[in-house]
Every structure is written in C-alpha cells, then in structure tokens.
Structure 1
Amino acid sequence: MKFVWVAGGCFQMGDTFGGGESSEKPVHEVCVDGFYMAKYEVIQGEYQKITGNNPSNYKDGDQYPVEQLTWEDAQAFIEKLNRSSGKQFRLPTEAEWEYAARSGGKKEQYAGSDSPDAVAWYDSNSSNSTHRVGTKAAIFCWTYPFSSLFFLGGGQKNYGGKGLLHLSHR
C-alpha cells in the first residue's frame, strides 16, 4: 500500500452547496492535523493477502478496489493488517476524509473537480462495474477518487450499507 502525506489545515465542513442531508448541517469550521492517507482504495489483492478472502462482487483483478465491505469487515481487516505489519492503520475520521475529499478543504462539488466524470466512477460512466484504481484524475495531486468511495466512517457504525475501504495512519 502506498500512503501520501496530507498536510493539515482548516476548512468549512458540511453541506457547502445546499441540498444535502440534515446531518451535514450546519456548516462549521474544522481543523485537522496532518495525516497519511492511502493513495488508493484498498485493492482486492491486498485484501486477499491479509484476510484470505475477497468479498467483492466484481472480481476483475488484484488491482481493482475491494468492495462489499461492512464496517465490521473494515475493522477486522485493519486489525489483521496492524498485527501483520506492526504499524497502526485506521479508518480516517469523518473530518479527515472530508478534508482530503475536498482537496485540502477547497470548495469543490466533487472531490478534485466540479465535474464528476473527471474524478469518479459512478452510475452514468462506470458500465456498472468497478475499475482499476488510479484511472481517474488525482485529487489535490496526491490521492485518487474519493467521489467513488462510500465512506465507512471513523469508528462510527451509522453509515449502513457496504462500500470501499480507504486507510489512514499517523
């Protein structure tokens, strides 16, 4: 796994564009310390190596993001990764994730752009499949598509559903 340094800073957290969920309001200033963020989502090959399985629906290759993970799956993966590496990985906090997704706190509607096609795979451009990591424009010159991620939460279980996994460490 490759990690990149995200310099800390302050930003306006929440629904800065309007039309969001009530949980995204009120918009408020948040400051985060610098942290390391995985350059890409955890890929199927990495997940398989650590856990011995691959829960993904789209098994197109080792360089594709692992998906169909619950919060509990993510925590179990991190625990095994920490034991095997001797390091301390974790999910990013909600503030860290939003700060990184907004290219260091910029006011961008989509992570790294105001055009979703430039930075994310989604219903209209993905052909209903995942894609190899790193195939969309980088965000803030250091990491890849956050807009395509379903955030699993920084220790919070209220993000129902299943999604992709992005790691952080200090």
Structure 2
Amino acid sequence: MNIRLLASAALAAVLAVPAFAAQTLVPAKSALGFTFKQMSVPVEGTFKTYTAQVSFDPAKPEATQATFSVDLGSIDVGGPDGNAEAKKKAWFDVASFPKATFTAKSVKALGGGKYEARGPLVIKGLSRDIVAQFTAKPAGSDLLLEGGFPLKRLQYKLGDGAWADTETVADDVQVKFRFTLTGKP
C-alpha cells in the first residue's frame, strides 16, 4: 500500500468520526447542587458556573460522550463566610484545583426513561469512579436530564484537618443536577 493511499484512508476515517459536543448546555435552565449535614443539620449548596460537552441520545445511550467541568470557585453554601471557607485549602483548595470534572465512560438505559452514567469524578486531583442515575425527558425542543449521585467527601480530601471529623460535617454528600441540553446529538 502506498503512502498516499494510506494517508487518504486515515483522513477519511478521521472525517467520518461524528463531532463531539453536538448539544449545548443551557445554564439558565440548569442547576447543580449538593446537600450535606453539618452538626446533624441539612445544608444545601450550589455551584453557579459549570460547562458541559455532551452528545446524548436517549435512544442510543451507549454512544454517549459527555464531560462536565465545574468552576469550584462558584460555590455557594448560603453565605460569604461559608463560601470563603469552602474555597480554602482544607476544602476545595480552589487556588490549586479550580475545577472538578466528570467524564462519562459508559451510559446505559435502565428502562422507563431512566439511565445510569459511570465514570471518573476528579476533585483536588483525586479521581474516583462514581455512578450517577438520571432521567431524560423532552422539555419543549430541549432535553432535560435530572438526577444525582452520592459521594464521600473524605475520599476527595474535602475537609482536611479538624474538618475531617464526621460528627461536625458528615462524610456523605448527595449531589443533584438538572441539565437542560439544546441541539441534536
């Protein structure tokens, strides 16, 4: 096989690959939040800034490509003191690790409009596999994904030192999301 034919075949293969991120996240119609307990009292928080590169077709979930990136400096736990504390080294260490990312390595249908995504969640440079369950349903011309997943904060060194005491801040955190996607996969 000559070099030109090989190069032409390689170029054709690359051009045949569908584009990633065919859908766009609509921030005004989306939300990313979490709940944890501090001194046995439920506390809710949100992240205000996040992005996503998504190609998800409910009819072909196994073909999904998705990466979500969260600006950890956009955390809001209800007040300026808590927000400032959450950004410090003992918690998210935003100065050293400004982003958290999740990449879906597999997505499968569970039936009834429910799905399961598996993949690594990276926070503070630490990667742990998570399983997120979600629903997918039309919202006008958009697609609404709603779901969540549990995580253990100490696996990501969130709350080092004195904050590692789970009597003060529980280890269990429930993450919840509502992502509105526009466009076709």
TM-score by length of 2: 0.25
**Higher RCO (C-alpha 8 Å, min separation 6):** 1
TM-score by length of 1: 0.26
Which structure has the bigger radius of gyration?
Answer: 2
Structure (1/2) with the larger strand percentage: 2
